[in-house]
Structure 1
Amino acid sequence: MSAAIKETNFQFPGQIGFYKGKVRDVYIFEDKLAVVASDRISAFDVVLPKAIPHKGQVLNQIAAKFLQATSDIVPNWVTSVPHPQVTIGKKCEPFKVEMVIRGYLAGHAAREYKGGKRMICGVPLPEGLRENDRLPSPIITPTTKASEGHDEDISKEDILAKGIVSPEDYAILEKYTHALYKRGSQMAKDKGLILVDTKYEFGKFGDDILLIDEIHTPDSSRYFYADSYDALQKAGQPQRQLSKEFVRQWLIANGFQGKEGQAVPEMPDEFIEEISARYIELYEKITGDSFQKGLTKDLENSIEKAILANL
């Protein structure tokens, strides 16, 4: 198997902090962040034991492409992408919510609906929907942004009532979320895909609201193939999709959903390679570009040098 970066542990001049997320290693400076997209993979808010070759590069480069392609809608945090797995940008104060937007009843929302819920994050859903049906119009189903453990569904009303986001800022987040989803959906359509659902994160840099983190990647989004969507829905068959949902389904089939007392099943090397290939497939499909595999030798050293040269 190709080399993969599970974690980094650098110390840089001027570094004042470090944060290890589920997937990213974040090096914190006075006014900037250097973010390493590792090859870790998470599902059900649990980081899985094995890293996925090239996954970090896929995420970082898709995010860079879409952040640039949406900068006319909302300014973002990025100042440079000096390495296939590194992004450097402005240090923002993140809003403590993730703006999840759904155009279709899939994934978590479908599981909730199947369980009998007809109200998700304060948004009512009509009766008679089937899994993967298109919703009457896109809905925003926010989650709290947990520093550890599971993110939790929350309604707009609760966000405002608890003072997590001000009414003025939340109105802007909603506006940006709908506009970004519209743009992302059109870009996906141009490549023969459907952007099913996705999430956006925002932060403040001074008084400005910026788009932060990644967007429209397989970790933050779900895509269906457009050419087979109608026929598969009509036949009641599962959709062909490009996302990490197949990883979740494999884990579910092997007795793991992130619940207390459940052990993560051993993922065989063949499945790790399949995940890597799927990530590369999504990169090529959604960007229209051929994926150029980055360094596999001395990868960690090349990441450190790229950050040092851009501080």
Structure 2
Amino acid sequence: MTEGIKETHFKFPNQTNFYRGKVRDIYFFEDLLVMVASDRISAFDVILPVAIPFKGQVLNQIASKFLRATQDIVPNWITASPDPNVSVGLNCEPYAVEMVIRGYLAGHAWREYRAGKRTLCGVALPDGLKENDRLPEPIITPTTKAKEGHDEDISREEILAQGIVAEEEYIQLETYTRNLFQRGTEMAAKQGLILVDTKYEFGKMGDEIILIDEIHTPDSSRYFYQEGYHERQANGETQKQLSKEFVRQWLIENGFQGKDGQQIPEMTSEVVNSISERYIELFEQVTGESFQKDGNQNIQNRIETNINNYLINR
């Protein structure tokens, strides 16, 4: 299998800055930024030691599709995608919160609920719910955006009280979040999927709120298969899902949840290949399109060449 892209070290003309995130390498220019989706994978806010081939391409191409499909709801940052792993766009000032929205009780929300909590980010949850049950209505459970370490749950009231986001703008963020989730839900349903939960990030360009980063990808979202969902719930069975949750579950089963003193389990070639295939499966299920693997063994050269050509010709 093609080796995954762990990180990039490009130097472009007129480049002003560089930032390496958990998954993306970002190259800054005076009037734009170039975001390279690497094949790094993180879980529990920890970057795992082995890159997953084609993961970056999957994320970038799914995000591009959904950003195009939602630009009537909210303006977004992307202006071009000169390479399967690359997006180019506006350099916005990001808000310091991520807008998480949940339609079902799954993942982190379920783990908190199972531990006895009935309030999540200031939102009350009813008693008697089971894992993966549909919630009475979608709930917004924001988190802080940590540059290092773990993101933390935070309530609407805390965000406003701390002045992290002005109230008028936060109300607009909530509206955009609900409308984007509704559109994502409708698009998933056409593919036989349920959009379980997801997160959105926003920034500002002048006075305008802009949707940034990726949306509706396996790193930012969780999907269930529609077919058999109700039967599995009724029988207390595990839902068939497409998301990064299977990576988290594998880590949990092998004694790792990102806590101090815990060791990341060995990522064998079999584990890495299976994760790669699951990401490709998700791409094809979510988009309804066939995934095109690039046979070029030197993907880094391809990416660098395509970015340079874009910068020269834009």
- Same fold judged by TM-score > 0.5? yes
What is the deviation of 1:141?
0.1
What is the deviation of 1:305?
1.3
- Who is 2:129 aligned against? 129
Percent identical residues: 68
**Mapping of residues 1-311 of structure 1, within 5 Å:** 1-311=1-311
User: What are the Cα deviations for residues 161-199 of structure 1, in whole angstroms up to 9, with x where unaligned?
Assistant: 101000011011000000000000000001000000000
User: What are the Cα deviations for residues 66-90 of structure 1, in whole angstroms up to 9, with x where unaligned?
Assistant: 0000000011000100000000000
What secondary structure is seen at the aligned counterpart in 2 of 1:50?
A: coil
What secondary structure is seen at the aligned counterpart in 1 of 2:75?
A: coil
What is the deviation of 1:295?
4.3
What is the deviation of 1:34?
0.2
What is the deviation of 1:3?
2.0
Q: Report if the CA contact (8 A) 2:2-2:297 is conserved.
A: no
* CA–CA separation in structure 1 for the residues paired with 2:273 and 2:29: 35
* Matched residues, number: 311
* CA–CA separation in structure 2 for the residues paired with 1:287 and 1:157: 36
What secondary structure is seen at the aligned counterpart in 1 of 2:49?
A: coil
User: What are the Cα deviations for residues 86-122 of structure 1, in whole angstroms up to 9, with x where unaligned?
Assistant: 0000000000000000000000000000000000000
User: What are the Cα deviations for residues 259-290 of structure 1, in whole angstroms up to 9, with x where unaligned?
Assistant: 01111111111111110111000100110001
* CA–CA separation in structure 2 for the residues paired with 1:294 and 1:205: 35
What is the deviation of 1:31?
1.9
What secondary structure is seen at the aligned counterpart in 1 of 2:149?
A: coil
* CA–CA separation in structure 2 for the residues paired with 1:294 and 1:287: 18
What is the deviation of 1:232?
0.4
* CA–CA separation in structure 2 for the residues paired with 1:123 and 1:54: 37
Amino acid at match of 1:195: L
What secondary structure is seen at the aligned counterpart in 2 of 1:79?
A: strand
State TM-score, norm by structure 2.
0.98
What secondary structure is seen at the aligned counterpart in 1 of 2:36?
A: strand
What secondary structure is seen at the aligned counterpart in 1 of 2:228?
A: helix
What is the deviation of 1:296?
3.7
* CA–CA separation in structure 2 for the residues paired with 1:84 and 1:240: 28
* CA–CA separation in structure 2 for the residues paired with 1:296 and 1:209: 38
State TM-score, norm by structure 1.
0.99
Q: Report if the CA contact (8 A) 2:77-2:212 is conserved.
A: yes
List gaps (5 residues or longer) in structure 2.
none
Q: Report if the CA contact (8 A) 2:198-2:220 is conserved.
A: yes
Q: Report if the CA contact (8 A) 1:60-1:214 is conserved.
A: yes
Q: Report if the CA contact (8 A) 1:57-1:294 is conserved.
A: no
Q: Report if the CA contact (8 A) 1:3-1:296 is conserved.
A: no
Q: Report if the CA contact (8 A) 2:40-2:50 is conserved.
A: yes
What secondary structure is seen at the aligned counterpart in 2 of 1:309?
A: helix
* CA–CA separation in structure 2 for the residues paired with 1:294 and 1:82: 14
Amino acid at match of 2:75: P
Q: Report if the CA contact (8 A) 1:96-1:164 is conserved.
A: yes
Q: Report if the CA contact (8 A) 1:4-1:296 is conserved.
A: no
What secondary structure is seen at the aligned counterpart in 2 of 1:87?
A: strand
Task: State the Cα RMSD in Å.
Answer: 0.7
List gaps (5 residues or longer) in structure 1.
none
What is the deviation of 1:294?
2.1
Amino acid at match of 2:93: E
What secondary structure is seen at the aligned counterpart in 1 of 2:279?
A: helix
